[in-house]
Amino acid sequence: MKIKVMDKVLAANDAWAEENRKFLAQRSITMLNLIGSPGSGKTSLLEKTIDLLGKKLRIGVIEGDIATSRDAERIGKKGIPVFQINTGNACHLDAHLVNAALKELCKSSRLNLIFVENIGNLVCPAEFDIGEHAKIAILSVTEGDDKVEKYPLLFSEAKALIITKLSLLSHTNFKLEKAEKDFRKVNREAPILRIDNISGEGFSGWIAFLNNM
């Protein structure tokens, strides 16, 4: 019985995801779904990305959080359109919520790139299609190098893996080679980008990836 209910939820979600894909295609907008743990550096990655690309592309951001608008306030300071979704207790954004946010965000702005910062979590956000062009997995070196093995769905679906907080590597026992080898077991294609949000190390690869989307 539980499985049937879940099927219905996912079917309804997929219909909204299709709506979102149409909405984005009509406006030639690329939408990327950033997924990673709380504190993995998703918002910092966005801040730095906007600094580097905000003049070249018309960027908008949808922020997903259980509570608060702290991330939207941080992004808003960059002077770009941002919409905060608070899910209350839901552990992921679904396509219906994103549809409402997309309509709001595009009401007064013509955008060509939208980032969705999903709820900080490696599990549920990977299960819900929101109509994005690509899921981007964010993994910080402070989380431990076993996360790829423990949460394979996200890493198998990702179109890029971004390893953040590189400058802290020597203070952890995170083994880049192990994490990257585990990633290749579930994902043969997606590029692996090692970056540091503070120093900007590795951002040229990320910006090149975005320019090729």
Token duo for residue 90: 């839901």
Q: How far is the CB of 41 from Mg ion (least distance, A)?
A: 8
Q: Rank residues 18 and 51 by Cβ distance to Mg ion and give the closer one.
A: 51
Q: Rank residues 13 and 40 by Cβ distance to Mg ion and give the closer one.
A: 40
- Measured between alpha carbons, how far is residue 129 from residues 40, 97, 153 in Å? 21, 12, 13
CB 135 within 8 A of CB 159: yes
Q: Is 71 near Mg ion (CB under 5 A)?
A: yes
Q: Is 42 near Mg ion (CB under 5 A)?
A: yes
* Alpha carbon distance 139, 168 (integer Å): 13
Single-letter code of the amino acid located at 164: T
Distance of CA 122 to the CA centre of its chain: 11
Contact range with Mg ion by CB under 5 A, out of 14-22, 53-61, 68-76, 163-171? 68-76
Q: How far is the CB of 173 from Mg ion (least distance, A)?
A: 25
Q: Rank residues 16 and 98 by Cβ distance to Mg ion and give the closer one.
A: 98
Q: ∠ at Cα 140 (211, 56), nearest 5°?
A: 20
Q: How far is the CB of 189 from Mg ion (least distance, A)?
A: 27
Q: How far is the CB of 36 from Mg ion (least distance, A)?
A: 9
Q: Is 43 near Mg ion (CB under 5 A)?
A: yes
Q: How far is the CB of 48 from Mg ion (least distance, A)?
A: 13
Contact range with Mg ion by CB under 5 A, out of 20-28, 46-54, 70-78, 81-89? 70-78
Contact range with Mg ion by CB under 5 A, out of 64-72, 82-90, 105-113, 190-198? 64-72
Q: How far is the CB of 91 from Mg ion (least distance, A)?
A: 15
Contact range with Mg ion by CB under 5 A, out of 25-33, 43-51, 176-184, 204-212? 43-51
Contact range with Mg ion by CB under 5 A, out of 21-29, 42-50, 90-98, 163-171? 42-50
* Alpha carbon distance 109, 89 (integer Å): 30
Which residues, 6 or more positions from 140, have their beta carbon under 8 angstroms from its beta carbon? 36, 37, 39, 40, 41, 163, 164, 165, 168
DSSP 63-88: EEESS-SHHHHHHHTTTS-EEEEE-T
* Alpha carbon distance 155, 188 (integer Å): 11
Residues that bind Mg ion (CB under 5 A): 42-43, 71
